[in-house]
Amino acid sequence: MDDVNAEEAEENLTVRKLRERFPEAVLSTRSVRNEFTILVRSGEIVRACRYLKEDPDLRYDFLSDLTAVDRLAEHPRFEVVYHLFSLQFKRRIRLKIQVEEGEVVPSVTPVWSTANWHEREVFDMFGISFDGHPDLRRILMPEGWEGHPLRKDYPVQASPKWWEEGGAAGD
């Protein structure tokens, strides 16, 4: 991408502070269209989030969104994406972790209660498990459903026959 600007990302206060505090945790940073993304080591995500939330100069107290992306052909396969917002400074930052299929991600529910349903949705749609989540079960699909619809190897259209053969379909 043309406008990926590593230098610009480096100047960002949030990026700088997080890198100073957790030099091991920050894998890379980038800035596209004035949006900053920090790739964090997946085991460090909870510590990083708590720091970003509590540091008086940053105060990312609002978790806007939490979701995932399936990069089917790549390794690690999944990205879990966190969109943080600071009500005080009106700033946004995007955190990302990369996880392999079957890998368990630490839950950020102890940092923000709102992560509860978001993580359930990611679990339901992508099959990514969260460690330390108080109530990890499907949220949108029926309980007995097989498969995770937002995975790239899950068909967009399928006849009822497909389900019978696949032995899927809950009730």
Partner 1 sequence: MTEARTMTINMGPQHPSTHGVLRLVLELDGEIVVRCTPHIGYLHTGIEKIAESKRYQQVIPITDRMDYLAPLSNNLAYVLAVEKLLGIEVPPRAETIRVMLTELTRIGSHLVWLGTHAIDIGAMSVFLYAFREREQILDMYEQVAGARMMSSYFRVGGLFADLPEGFEKTVRSFLTSFPDRLAEYEDLLTNNPIWIQRTKGIGVIKPGDAVDLGLSGPGLRACGVPWDIRKSNPYSGYEQYAFEISKGTHGDVYDRYLCRIFEMRQSVGIVRQSLERLPDGPIAVQDPKLTPPPKPMVKKSMEALIHHFLLWSEGFRVPAGEVYQSIESPKGEFGVYLVSDGSNTPYRVHFRAPSFVNLQSLPRMAEGRLVADLVAIIGSIDIVLGEVDR
Residues that bind partner 1 (CB under 8 A): 1-2, 32-33, 35, 37, 61-65, 67, 69-70, 81, 83, 87, 90, 92, 94, 112-114, 116-118, 125, 138-142, 149-150, 154, 156
**E strands of the chain, at which residues?**
26-32, 35-40, 62-70, 78-86, 91-99, 104-106, 129-131
Pick the closer one to partner 1 by CB: 43 or 144. 144
Least gap, CB of 40 to partner 1 (angstroms): 16
Least gap, CB of 23 to partner 1 (angstroms): 25
Residue with token string 């999944």: 78
Pick the closer one to partner 1 by CB: 17 or 138. 138
Given a contact cutoff of 8 angstroms between Cβ atoms, the answer to whether 136 and 161 are in contact is no
Least gap, CB of 112 to partner 1 (angstroms): 6
Give the Cα separation of 53 and 59 in Å (integer).
5
Give the Cα separation of 7 and 169 in Å (integer).
50
